[in-house]
């Protein structure tokens, strides 16, 4: 039968026997011939995930133009060019290009750094290949991307599964599937002659991710890794056909609007509406009250530009790029999407997966108890004897993780270390996934002709082989249930002394055992997880644990890390709730257990809908929907490739406390951007109000378009200092949310105050200047006053610290005083002012500074939590 790729899904989910499957795939136990493997590679492509190429610099630059504010600035440049205001058009165009270039360079650098993490993924696989049909199969190491359907792959401890496999043979094989399911415990895998008749819903819906498929013992999935044992399997799906790749195609995986979109972009859209309304309003008002026509169009465009914080894209991009660069350099945190750094500063809820983030895929001993529940080191002793000789004599490819944990504990607990376990071993009956226990047979010390069977395994499987009364069995089961409910993996240990057998021992000898006790093991916590959680709580961030693991396991891990779990909620208990009820539950719940990927994403989504800014920290395929549903997707360095591709922030160092550094950096950037917006919009709004009022009262324009342009250029150049300002410590203590309505309410108050100072200056100018040169003197006086008030605003409204802003504000003030007196003054329609003007201007500025200082303190007091 000729193999056809379109039949791959039905093949892997069918009831085919291994032989039927091999025939259908055009393969066999001896593997593929090299020439056939090459043909399949050419025909069906490399074994890689669907293309995720790093976008080129020009592509990222063009994407930056989709920013709404950048697009409006580009439109204003075109309008300015249309009315022959070439200087204005050129300046705006330069700002647009600089902003997009900075943003593109930063994001391209982050994309390349994230792509470099691909080296953490396995690069080769061991396959059986033949040179021709008659040749013997030879194990070969081939690049993972060269693996094709029908290849026979060998698995050894520590290997990452290169593709979806159907097992042909296995010896003590267990797999880590936490990246796919969230379950921290290794899953036993073994071949079966005929799989279950149950057909996955994925056969009808190829993109569905049925969690029950991962329970199939005969299938090993790409993205999982070998915990212990070994095996051989045939490849049934590669590349985009694997379960691993399908998880990335789930419906609803598109990213939603983030906190940056709702804040900075929200303010931008409000300003855009005002900017679009300003030119027609100016034209209509001047036509109605002053009889002016289209000659005021350049002035109207200049007023619209004056309202615009032209430097916003440059300031935002420069601030975020500097913060992202510093994080990558000092803390190995890669920010792939620059606005995500702002969002990190606004995060007030961090949701995270347990396995792979808070805990390691490595068990450690928690307790060893006798049958009555009393701590007893002899139980650990016999459990370690079983582990030692199982590892030594069973000829397994490597020790099971549970055996390693017991041996490590014994080495620490006993004075003689592992020497105390050196019995004279006879044989072992290794663990298999059917009977779920292992037996080591050793010679009984000081009793010639006697052997001791040391049995260790699943509680129910060991108890059914023990000679126990009904009450004793119930007590043992109850003790095991209590330990399991507390989040432990529980093993039972039993002994039996027998006369030395002259025949080989079999599983039939595992009867009439005496129960010694139980050992409980827990997941080892990540080294820096406790410090990371403490830092998050100290920063005023709520932590929610969303895991597919057992409720007791999740609660225990939280307690060990200093996070009070409270009442653990399982997915089954909230699945029927509406979004409103679930949102209320999520606000007061710390741990959600037994969650599917979609349920994790739903919890994140309802938290966002309740006004929270959410971050999600996850490392597996099962975390992809939640990573996309959050405002900021974060992953650790060991995350699977698609999780690193999806995340906005990658913690490249094996140190979760780097997340705290990233949040602090994000808050610093957010504080800088918020301070810039308040200062610039207050000044711009006040100037526009005063300019429009004066334009209607004066027989001439209050400022010429060229003067407005020069003023904007001076102020814009000075504002670049904000990108290098350092925030005050108080701005880093709590999440920083930039709410458009609150910002605009504050800006309106300061803008009206600024307009009052401008209009007071207007009155002074009307009184002070002579009529012969009233127009040019008025222009010069107002130009000087505008730059001086803007310098005051920069100093008094700033929330950061550092010397660059005061120095820049001083230079701006000097420019306002000296430019009208310089040879450049007459070139742009300004003349020297009479001396009487300056004392009156100083009085206006002193009153303005006092009022500004009072309003600033009042606003900050009101805003303080």
**Catalytic residue IDs:** 353
Q: DSSP state, 396?
A: -
Residue-by-residue DSSP string for 454-470: EEEEEHHHHHTTB---H
Q: Which two tokens stand for residue 85?
A: 């205001």
C-beta neighbour count of 506 within 10 angstroms? 10
CA torsion through residues 689, 694, 696, 700, sign: negative
In Å, how far from its chain's centre is CA 587? 21
Q: Under 8 Å CB-to-CB from 129, ≥6 apart: which residues?
A: 31, 32, 33, 34, 37, 137, 138, 140, 142, 151
User: How far is CA 341 from each of CA 104, 666, 684, 775, rounded to the nearest angstrom?
Assistant: 15, 5, 27, 48
d(CA 114, CA 557): 30
Asked whether 607 and 584 are in contact (CB, 8 A), the reply is no
In Å, how far from its chain's centre is CA 448? 63
Asked whether 70 and 96 are in contact (CB, 8 A), the reply is yes
d(CA 85, CA 92): 11
Q: Under 8 Å CB-to-CB from 536, ≥6 apart: which residues?
A: 350, 543, 659, 660, 663
Q: How far apart are the first and last CA of the chain?
A: 73
3-state secondary structure of 864: coil
Q: Which two tokens stand for residue 101?
A: 């270039």
CA gyration radius, the chain: 36
d(CA 404, CA 362): 9
C-beta neighbour count of 97 within 10 angstroms? 13
Asked whether 166 and 21 are in contact (CB, 8 A), the reply is yes
C-beta neighbour count of 137 within 10 angstroms? 17
Asked whether 845 and 757 are in contact (CB, 8 A), the reply is yes
d(CA 146, CA 484): 43
Long-range contacts of the stretch 795-798 (C-beta < 8 A, 24+):
796/849, 796/852, 796/853, 796/856, 797/675, 797/678, 797/679, 797/682, 797/750, 797/852, 797/856, 798/675, 798/679, 798/722, 798/725
Long-range contacts of the stretch 775-779 (C-beta < 8 A, 24+):
775/700, 776/829, 776/830, 776/831, 777/831, 777/833, 777/834, 778/698, 778/700, 778/702, 779/702, 779/703, 779/704, 779/707, 779/829, 779/830
Write phi, then psi, for 727 (nearest 5 degrees). Answer: -70, 155
Q: Under 8 Å CB-to-CB from 169, ≥6 apart: which residues?
A: 191, 231, 232
Q: DSSP state, 802?
A: S
């Amino acid at each position: 039968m000729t193999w056809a790729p379109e039949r791959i899904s039905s093949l892997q989910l069918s009831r085919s026997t291994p032989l039927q499957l091999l025939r259908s795939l055009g393969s066999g136990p001896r593997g593929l011939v090299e020439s056939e493997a090459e043909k399949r590679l050419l025909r069906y492509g490399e074994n890689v995930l669907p293309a995720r190429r790093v976008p080129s610099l020009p592509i990222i630059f063009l994407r930056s133009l989709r920013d709404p504010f950048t697009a409006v600035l580009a439109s204003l440049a075109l309008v300015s060019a249309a009315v022959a205001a070439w200087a204005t058009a050129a300046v705006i165009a330069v700002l647009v290009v600089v902003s997009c270039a900075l943003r593109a360079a930063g994001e391209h650098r982050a994309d390349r750094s994230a792509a470099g993490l691909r080296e953490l993924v396995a690069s080769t696989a061991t396959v059986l290949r033949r040179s021709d049909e008659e040749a013997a199969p030879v194990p070969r190491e081939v690049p993972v991307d060269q693996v094709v359907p029908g290849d026979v792959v060998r698995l050894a401890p520590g290997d990452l599964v290169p593709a979806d496999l159907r097992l042909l043979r296995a010896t003590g094989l267990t797999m880590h599937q936490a990246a796919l399911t969230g379950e921290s415990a290794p899953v036993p895998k073994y071949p079966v002659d005929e799989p279950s008749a149950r057909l996955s819903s994925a056969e009808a819906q190829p993109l569905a991710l049925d969690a029950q498929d991962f329970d199939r013992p005969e299938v090993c999935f790409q993205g999982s890794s070998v915990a212990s044992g070994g095996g051989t399997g045939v490849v049934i799906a590669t590349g985009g056909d694997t379960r691993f790749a399908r998880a990335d195609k789930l419906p609803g995986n598109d990213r939603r609007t983030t906190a940056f979109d709702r804040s900075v972009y929200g303010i931008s859209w409000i300003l855009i509406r005002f900017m679009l309304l300003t030119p027609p309003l100016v034209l209509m008002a001047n036509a109605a009250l002053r009889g002016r026509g289209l000659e005021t169009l350049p002035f109207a465009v200049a007023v619209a530009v004056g309202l615009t914080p032209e430097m916003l894209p440059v300031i935002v991009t420069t601030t975020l790029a500097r913060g992202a660069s510093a994080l990558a350099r000092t803390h190995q945190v890669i920010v792939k999407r620059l606005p995500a750094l702002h969002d990190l500063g606004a995060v007030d809820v961090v949701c995270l997966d347990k396995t792979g983030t808070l805990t390691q895929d490595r068990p450690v001993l928690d307790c060893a108890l006798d049958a009555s529940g009393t701590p007893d080191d002899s139980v650990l002793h016999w459990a370690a004897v079983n582990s030692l000789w199982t590892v030594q004599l069973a000829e397994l490819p490597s020790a099971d993780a549970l055996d390693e944990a017991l041996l490590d504990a014994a080495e620490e607990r006993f004075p003689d270390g592992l020497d105390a376990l050196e019995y004279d071993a006879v044989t072992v009956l290794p663990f298999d996934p059917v009977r779920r226990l292992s037996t080591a047979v050793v010679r009984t010390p000081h009793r010639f002709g006697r052997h001791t069977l040391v049995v260790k395994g699943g509680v129910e499987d060991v108890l059914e082989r023990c000679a126990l009364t009904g009450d004793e069995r119930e007590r043992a089961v109850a003790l095991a249930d209590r330990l399991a409910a507390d989040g432990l993996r529980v093993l039972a240990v039993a002994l039996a002394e027998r006369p030395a057998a002259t025949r080989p021992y079999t599983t039939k000898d595992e009867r009439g055992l005496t129960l010694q006790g139980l050992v409980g093991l827990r997941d080892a916590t990540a080294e820096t997880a406790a410090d990371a959680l403490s830092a998050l709580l100290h920063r005023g961030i709520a932590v929610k644990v969303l895991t597919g693991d057992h409720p007791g396991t999740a609660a225990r891990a939280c307690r060990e890390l200093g996070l009070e779990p409270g009442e653990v909620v399982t997915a089954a208990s909230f699945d029927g709730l509406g979004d409103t009820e679930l949102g209320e539950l999520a606000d007061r719940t710390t741990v959600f257990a037994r969650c599917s990927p979609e349920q994790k994403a739903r919890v994140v989504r309802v938290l966002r809908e309740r006004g929270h800014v959410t971050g999600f920290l996850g490392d597996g395929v099962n975390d992809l929907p939640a990573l996309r549903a959050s405002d900021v997707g974060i992953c650790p360095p060991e995350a699977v490739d698609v999780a690193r591709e999806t995340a906005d922030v990658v913690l490249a160092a094996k140190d979760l406390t780097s997340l705290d550094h990233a949040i602090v950096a994000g808050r610093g950037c957010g504080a800088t951007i918020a301070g810039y917006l308040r200062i610039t919009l207050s000044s711009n709004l006040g100037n526009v109000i005063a300019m429009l009022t004066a334009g209607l009262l004066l027989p001439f324009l209050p400022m010429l378009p060229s003067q407005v342009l020069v003023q904007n250029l001076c102020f814009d150049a000075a504002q670049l200092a904000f990108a290098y300002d350092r925030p005050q410590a108080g701005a880093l203590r709590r999440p920083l949310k930039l709410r458009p309505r609150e910002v605009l309410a504050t800006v309106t108050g300061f803008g009206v105050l600024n307009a009052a100072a401008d209009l007071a200056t207007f009155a002074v100018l009307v009184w002070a200047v002579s009529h012969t040169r009233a127009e040019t003197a008025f222009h010069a006086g107002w130009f000087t006053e505008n730059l001086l008030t803007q310098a005051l605003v920069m100093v008094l409204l700033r929330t950061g610290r550092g010397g660059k802003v005061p120095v820049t504000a001083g230079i701006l003030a000097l420019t306002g005083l000296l430019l009208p007196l310089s040879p450049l003054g007459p070139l742009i329609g300004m003349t020297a002012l009479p001396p009487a003007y300056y004392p009156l201007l100083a009085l206006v500025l002193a009153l303005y500074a006092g009022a500004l200082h009072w309003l600033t303190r009042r606003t900050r007091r009101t805003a303080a939590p």
